[in-house]
Amino acid sequence: MRLKAIFIGLLVLSISSSSFARKIYSAGNGNWTATGSWVGGVVPVANDTVIIQNANTISVSSNLYSNSTYMFLIILGTLDLSSNGKMSLSATSKVIIESGAQILGNGSSDQLSIGTGPSEYTGSLGNITGPSYVSNGHTPVSGEGTSGCGCYTSLGSCTITSTDGYKVYINVWATQILVETSPCTWGYNYDVRLNYNVSFSGTNIPASLYTLQGYVFCGTSSLFFDLPNNGGSGTVDTGGNAWRGISDCGSATPQSLSCLNAKIEIGGSGIASGTTCTSSLPIKLLRFEAEQVAQGVQLVWNTSMEKDFDYFQIERAQEDLSFLPIAQVKGKGGPDINVAYEYLDKEVKNGKNYYRLKSVDFDGSFEYSKVVFVNGSNTDGIRVYPNPLIDHSFTIELNDHINTPTDVRLMDHLGHTVYQSELRKSTTDVSLPNSIQSGLYYLRLFSANKQETIKVVIP
């Protein structure tokens, strides 16, 4: 059976795991202070990472902790504060509300406070549904995403329903880049360390699934990982041994290497072999891609279904992954119409530019696409044209902000240099050897005060 790859956002922790004394998981529905609510009967304390699992509701009905208590709380199920529940945590604490998760409250006495000052959440705001987050000074908003918290680049959870009556909940976090080449003067091989949480609910839950595995996508690299078929929580490393042709192994993180997406494959009793995670997008998004062009960044995407769909909001972020809207594109498709869209971003920033689509229904409900990125350069940098190249030839145009001479290197996807030269004037015509094969390459320019990288295509 042909697999249909549906991408989900990877949860990426930017906080060192050494900050957490323990990881505490909910064991079912119950009160926060009851030992039976937590796996192993361990009630959370300061410095714990606390995970309320899918399909679990944990209720708070008293005053818990103080504004000096650090905690990292990830809600995959429900945190219920509606019975005058109050939680006070330190200013560096974070509360993540996953997609499909929620915080419940019904009055001003239901409170969640991070740091000193007014409560960030009170029940008078109503119920909060994910994706969202709570941090010092930030009031949560349903569906806003979590990029602004500095904890996750993006988020996603996978829920698979079996025809036998049970559900499987899968969550994955990329926590560390495992460097396998040191020193990394010319680049390095790497894998990714993942935390996972796989839980079940419903009836006829099997002792083991048939298949549970996936791929992490770090930029253009794909790295395989295998999860235990009986579920649970733990840590697993990928086995892709990807190559990065940049000597930044000492500072590499899942965020800096753009490990933003994953594909999960699952099979089991009542779950067809080859099933992948599904999405509840109000559209069926076939592709979403970004490409550096001479005028900026060209975004292209296709849909095959748009039911009760209103518009796309295009959002862009820099290295901090704080997404901001830059444009809206009205939907123009229908239930069974293939439609192509494009948008040219002329305000590209130097460095990595991340993009995502927020697809919005007429009723206001929305979902986010996967995240794509380019290593951009705006008009303060360079121009390369034509791109794709014609007859292995192109022109490089430098402006006054880049000094000459400038070292030029054309590198393949493995980081190998296939062409190198030096520019000594602001506009230079370049003819590449015909022996360089067709494909996607990275043109890197180094001057005394600047470095630039642009993707180029040799047809």
Provide the number of structural domains found in the chain: 4
In the chain, the N- to C-terminal Cα span, in Å, equals 32
Residue ranges making up the domain that contains 309: 283-376
Let me know whether 319 and 372 are in one domain: yes
Owner of token pair 């949480």: 197
| Residue 450 confidence (pLDDT) | 63
39 shares its domain with 137: yes
- Give tens-digit pLDDT for 159-170: 788 999 998 888
- Residue for token pair 């296939």: 418
- For residue 326, the model assigns a pLDDT of 92
Give yes or no for residue 158 having a pLDDT over 90: no
Distance in angstroms (rounded) separating the CA atoms of residues 64 and 86: 6
User: HSE-up of 322 (CA within 13 Å, CB side)?
Assistant: 4
The mean per-residue pLDDT over the stretch 389-410 comes to: 78
The length of the chain, given as a count of residues: 459
Q: Which of 130, 149, 168 is the last residue of a domain?
A: 149
Residue 353 and residue 297 share a domain: yes
Residues 229 and 320 in one domain: no
Order of strands, sheet of 94-97, starting from the edge strand that comes earlier in the sequence = 23-25, 49-52, 72-75, 94-97, 132-134
Q: Domain end: 217, 241, 276, which one?
A: 276
Q: Is residue 4 part of a domain?
A: no
The first and second tokens of residue 269, run together, are 């009793």
The pLDDT value given to residue 206 = 94
pLDDT at 8: 35
134 in the same domain as 21: yes
* 4: pLDDT strictly greater than 50: no
Task: Take residue 456 and report the two structure tokens written for it.
Answer: 């180029």
Phi/psi for 393 (5° steps) reads -125, 150
pLDDT band at 280 (very low <50, low <70, confident <90, very high): very low
In this prediction the pTM is: 0.51
Say yes or no to pLDDT of 5 above 50: no
Which tokens is 174 given? 């990329």
- In percent, how much of the chain has pLDDT > 90? 28
Residue 355 has pLDDT above 50, yes or no: yes
Where is pLDDT greater, at 62 or 364? 62
pLDDT band at 399; cut points 50, 70, 90: low
Q: How does pLDDT run across 73-97, given as a tens digit for each residue?
A: 989 889 999 999 999 999 989 898 8
The most confident of the ranges 107-116, 144-153, 230-239 is 107-116
Which one, of 208, 226, 235, 238, lies nearest residue 265 by Cα?
226
Average pLDDT over all residues of the chain: 81
pLDDT on residue 154: 41
